[in-house]
Amino acid sequence: MALTSGLIATNASTAVVIKKAGANPIKLNLHNSSGGVIYVGGANVSSANGYHLNNTESLELNLLSGNSLFGLSGSGSRDIAWFEQDI
């Protein structure tokens, strides 16, 4: 099983790709230690429809093949850490 990790900078104006669609499903762990809120969801993620990830909160999800995950900060520039594992 491949294990990879990284840090993605989000901003408050445009949704950014956290994980691009892949050919295989993955288990994705996210952690917000940015000091502010980050919203995660589809390409149209916003503060109104995104999953609200507070500072110090983590999220684990299975990202199916063909799906991408996006992020948007509540204000300013915020980093979100990710850890990926094949399933």
Model confidence at 2, pLDDT cuts 50, 70, 90, reads: confident
CA atoms of 61 and 77, how far apart (whole Å): 24
pLDDT at 18: 97
Instruction: Please give the angle made by the CA atoms of 45, 49 and 43, to the nearest 5 degrees.
Output: 20
Write the pLDDT tens digit of every residue in 43-87.
999 999 999 999 999 999 999 999 999 999 999 999 999 999 998
CA atoms of 3 and 19, how far apart (whole Å): 14
Domains of the chain: 3-86 (2.60.120.770)
pLDDT at 68: 97
Instruction: Please give the angle made by the CA atoms of 84, 63 and 25, to the nearest 5 degrees.
Output: 80
